[in-house]
Amino acid sequence: MRKVLIIGAGRSSSSLVKYLLEKSDVENLKIIIVDIVLENAQKLAKNHINATIFELDIFDIDSRKAVIMNSDIVISMLPARFHIEVAKDCVEYRKSLVTASYVSKELMALNKEVVAKGLIFMNEIGVDPGIDHMSAMQVIDRIKNQGGKMILFESFTGGLVAPESDNNLWNYKFTWNPRNVVLAGQGGVAKFIQEGKYKYIPYHKLFRRTELLTIKDYGKFEAMANRDSLKYREIYGLEDVLTMYRGTIRRVGFTRAWNVFVQLGMTDDSFIMEGSENMSYRDFTNSFLAYSLHDSVELKLRHYLKIDQDDTLWSKLIELDIFNADKKIGLKDATPAQMLQQILLKSWTLDKDDKDMIVMYHKFGYELDGKKKQIESNMVVIGEDQAYTAMAKTVGLPVAIAAIKILNGEIKTPGVQLPIRKEVYEPILKELENYGIHFKEKEVPYLGYNSFNFGA
Amino acid sequence: MRKVLIIGAGRSSSSLVKYLLEKSDVENLKIIIVDIVLENAQKLAKNHINATIFELDIFDIDSRKAVIMNSDIVISMLPARFHIEVAKDCVEYRKSLVTASYVSKELMALNKEVVAKGLIFMNEIGVDPGIDHMSAMQVIDRIKNQGGKMILFESFTGGLVAPESDNNLWNYKFTWNPRNVVLAGQGGVAKFIQEGKYKYIPYHKLFRRTELLTIKDYGKFEAMANRDSLKYREIYGLEDVLTMYRGTIRRVGFTRAWNVFVQLGMTDDSFIMEGSENMSYRDFTNSFLAYSLHDSVELKLRHYLKIDQDDTLWSKLIELDIFNADKKIGLKDATPAQMLQQILLKSWTLDKDDKDMIVMYHKFGYELDGKKKQIESNMVVIGEDQAYTAMAKTVGLPVAIAAIKILNGEIKTPGVQLPIRKEVYEPILKELENYGIHFKEKEVPYLGYNSFNFGA
């Protein structure tokens, strides 16, 4: 039996393990699941006959090297910063490696050795990054093969709550790391290119410069720009493209309300608030408003940010109870971002039966035979339950499929890489369709960059 | 003769040197002026019989040590980061030291040795920091000596253009380092306390949360919060004060218009703009606005920031010519902040005959005999010309006076210190009055923190 080693059995490994175990007989696989908490591995293995589990602290070098040496391929589901140690062992013991994380410089530096040894280190093969790369490259390559010239590429992804579980005014719940949601967009200007012009959006305007999208049967969405829209320009072979924009999807109305937190300064993670442990929700809100002996926190906020009392945005704030003087946040020495996260967790935590949803949307503009054309494609995946979420499926399945295809020699080009080659994306996207992960594609009139394009 | 060593003969040393030379006969002083550019020292010394000049690179350790060893007191007018080397030599050769800069941790760490050797290292004795400390402590000590209890302290300073030279719509010209003006307020939240409540203003709101001030004969001003309002709470002995706010003064209307640059992202210094060397003023402005095939840059900006066409703010933008498509900025690999600075320099550079102005304003609230009282004091200094600016006078004179008083043993408490002791501020403020630097003080009804207080 071929031994597939999975390091890290957290929530995002559920669908990955399930898929591999389902394929274990026909593919002749032994699935070795290791985690620093044995129970995590146990939960996923479910006593399957082809599963073996170990407790492993990856900083215990001898044990780590032993399990890697004793495997045929390695899947690292560790936090991204830990991949490099695993990767070095993989080079040493000549094992291929699959991760869903952004490829780091350190990892890329191993490329020469990886190629020399004929290994495949496949990275960014989750959902975003991952399915976005594959689904985009499939269309881009097709357009180029037809003799088309790419002029526009826009790509949007979002992790949201499924429509059937969508019961708050924000149309949003935390379906992944809440801290990343609160800090989204921070750390530098958002940069992209529109019709040949470089454009820059500072953080405090990011949530007011959104794009609108419509997906049949799912309604309207909005997207705010990522910081790194141009990151894949060369990797995708889109050096000459006039418009390139990547963004994060929310339901319409989310960013307009989130902007209130940004404007107030509640998403700031750079300083500790005085007396945070004793602050009520109302105190927290009031910290960002001018002092007044007579005016209410409510009126001060409305006046400061010019919010009408009958604005739907106001109802969103009320729903979060941010003016409650009795509820304590209860965090000591906390930053505003940590305080806000705590408030949001009370409202945006998934209920036991809630399902999540992953939405992806691409726009491809191109010239063919002197005509401008546009293709739009989208993917919507709904989670099964809280174990097999849309997030876990869309992250884990491409990883699992890639591992098997590498083992089977179907994916064979060696090197530290992303899934942008036809050899990789074609078979994986095909297999993903069997699991309900597929793109709907349509031709639309070429619109170019048009802020009034509702995706219609 | 007693030898006063001045290291650094830049523009802010002009009044300092002039004062010391004027006093050199009666005080029996030899003024030794050293600079890395001999010409700078020459310009200030003006061949005065009591002046000696040298070229000195402070990184030439032997020469530096030699001039310090051969002096009776040292004044360092170097950029703040270079003081520490001079200070260590001063400890070694037992010389007292005067600087106008914020006292650094490294400098403070020398305190024990400085005290042991009976030396005085006087820092923050320019204008801001400097005259602000002295003038505040004089009133605070007086209130406390009367048995009063301080409950409010607000303090504002600004370097502006003098009314007679004030001929642009912004009522502003660069009277000190333009880069610091462009970056003002960045680097962290502004934090202060109002009526016992901690308040926080994020950078992108800083220019919309201002205080208004009126100074008799000079009209209305506004002030935005400094980042460090609470920095001197303990140093001033104001631990229990309910309101403490420090700010930077501009003419009314400046911050509202400056906010346009902040909102657009033009003050960002964290990234290089693509193709900056070929950008016109208009291109630069357009980089921060959404792409549109049909709409003008002007209309896009007005719409984005909701500016009426007859708003005075709009005229300020037009005055800077930020929509000019023919004027190139001409900076390669520049950040937005550098590009903006370049545009502003065209409009805000002082003309040959222009004068500058320093404005300072304090509010002191206190309780005495069960009654709440308030004192307000202000200082306005107008520069003589572009050599003897208000900035050079208010920075240099306190430094010069302190040096003589230390030499004469009038200031005698040893240690690394700020000018917050009566022994220091009393004689220096008195001498400053002879040079037109004086505070006008008045009692006003106690207002506490009241945003509608126009200083009336």
pLDDT at B448: 72
B30 burial via Cβ count (<10 Å: 0-12, 13-18, 19+): middle
Q: What is the C-alpha separation between A303 and A447, in angstroms, rounded?
A: 39
Q: Which CATH number fits domain A2-122: 3.10.20.600, 3.40.50.880, 3.40.50.720, 3.30.420.40?
A: 3.40.50.720
How confident is the model over A417-435, as pLDDT tens digits?
999 999 999 999 999 999 9
Comparing alpha-carbon positions, the chain B residue that sits nearest to A192 is B287
Task: Please answer yes or no on whether A263 and B195 come within 8 Å at the CB atom.
Answer: no
Is a pLDDT exceeding 60 seen at residue A451?
Answer: no
Q: Give the pLDDT of residue A449.
A: 62
- Per-residue pLDDT band for A248 (boundaries 50, 70, 90) equals very high
* Closest CA in chain A for residue B189: A271
Cβ atoms of A233 and A239 closer than 8 Å: yes
CA distances from B319 to B169, B257, B344, B348 (A): 7, 12, 10, 11
pLDDT tops 60 at residue A450? no
What distance lies between CA A386 and its chain's CA centroid?
17
pLDDT at position A67 is 97
- What confidence category does residue A54 fall into, taking pLDDT thresholds of 50, 70 and 90? very high
Closest CB from B204, B268, B292 relative to A189: B268
ipTM of the complex: 0.88
Q: How far apart (Å, rounded) are the C-alpha atoms in residues B127 and B391?
A: 8
Give the model's pLDDT for residue A108. 97
| Mean pLDDT of the region A290-305 | 92
Interval A104-114 mean pLDDT: 97
User: What's the pLDDT score for residue B454?
Assistant: 39
| Region B252-281 average pLDDT | 97
Q: How far is A251 from chain B (nearest CA, A)?
A: 21
pLDDT band at B450; cut points 50, 70, 90: low
Q: Which residues of chain A does B188 touch, with a Cβ-Cβ cutoff of 8 Å? A: 270-271
Tokens linked to B250: 């501009």
Q: What is the dihedral of CA A92, A97, A99, A101, to 10 degrees?
A: 50
Mutate to test the interface with A, among B151, B193, B200, B267 (most CBs of A within 10 A): B200
Burial class (CB in 10 A: 0-12, 13-18, 19+), A234: exposed
pLDDT greater than 80 at residue B145: yes
Q: What is the DSSP letter of A163?
A: G
Residue of A191, A199, A292 with shortest CB distance to B291:
A199
Using CA coordinates, name the residue in chain A closest to B242. Answer: A291
Instruction: Specify the pLDDT at position B134.
Output: 98
| pLDDT of residue A228 exceeding 90 | no
- Looking at residue B139, what is its pLDDT? 98
| A38/A41 Cα distance (integer angstroms) | 5
Q: Whole-angstrom Cα distance, residue A151 to residue A243?
A: 7
Nearest to B78 by CA among B95, B97, B63, B92: B97
B200 to A273: CB separation less than 8 angstroms, yes or no: yes
> Which chain B residues have a beta carbon less than 8 Å from that of A290?
194, 199, 209, 451
Report the gap between the CA of B257 and the closest CA in chain A (Å): 17
Nearest by CB: B270 against A188, A195, A271? A188
Burial B141-155 (b: 16+ CB within 10 A, else e): bebeeeebebbbbbb
Top-level class of domain A131-257+352-445: alpha beta
Nearest Cα residue in chain B from A283: B197
Contact yes or no for B205 and A275 at CB 8 A: no
CA distance A274 to chain B (A): 7
pLDDT of B159-211, one tens digit each?
A: 999 999 999 999 999 998 999 999 999 999 999 999 999 999 999 999 999 99
In this prediction, residue A454 carries a pLDDT of: 40
Closest approach of A288 to chain B, Cα-based (Å): 5
Q: What is the pLDDT, as a whole number, of residue A294?
A: 83
Q: Domain map of chain B by residue range? A: 2-122, 131-257+352-445
Residue A140 has pLDDT above 90, yes or no: yes
pLDDT of residue A453: 46
B283 min Cα distance to partner chain A (Å) = 9
Pick from B291, B293, B340 the residue to mutate for testing the A interface (most A CBs within 10 Å).
B291
**Which H or E element spans position B2?**
strand B2-7
Tell me the average pLDDT across A317-337: 98
Task: Kindly state the average pLDDT of the residues B386-411.
Answer: 97
Residue among A291, A294, A335 with most chain B CBs within 10 A, to mutate:
A291
Q: Which residues of A touch B287 (CB under 8 A)?
A: 197-200
- Calpha distance B178→B11 (Å, rounded): 14
pLDDT of A456 over the 50 cut: no
pLDDT at A166 over 50: yes
pLDDT band (50, 70, 90) for residue B92: very high
Q: Which residue of A has its CA nearest to B286?
A: A199
> Is the predicted pLDDT of residue B453 greater than 80, yes or no?
no
Amino acid identity, residue B306? K
Q: What does A222-271 look like in DSSP terms, one character per residue?
A: EEEEPTBTTTTTTTTT-TT-SEEEEEEEEETTHHHHHHHHHHHTTT--SS
Instruction: Answer whether B271 sits within 8 Å of A204, measured CB to CB.
Output: no
- Judging contacts by C-beta atoms under 8 Å, the chain B residues touching residue A273 are 198, 200
B 270-299 → A contacts, CB under 8 A: 270-271, 273-275, 286-293
Residue B170 distance to chain A (closest CA, Å): 24
Please answer yes or no on whether A194 and B271 come within 8 Å at the CB atom.
no
The answer to whether B2-122 and B131-257+352-445 have equal CATH topology is: no
Q: What's the mean per-residue pLDDT of chain B?
A: 95
> Tokens standing for A46?
């479910």
Quick one: DSSP state of residue A328?
B
- Closest by Cβ to A198, choosing from B265, B268, B287: B287
Mean pLDDT of the residues in chain A = 95
**Is B202's CB within 8 Å of A264's CB?**
yes
> In chain A, which residue's Cα lies nearest the Cα of B198?
A287
pLDDT in tens, B131-144: 999 999 999 999 99
Rounded Cα–Cα distance for residues A75 and A69 (Å): 13
Size of interface A-B (CB pairs under 8 A): 100
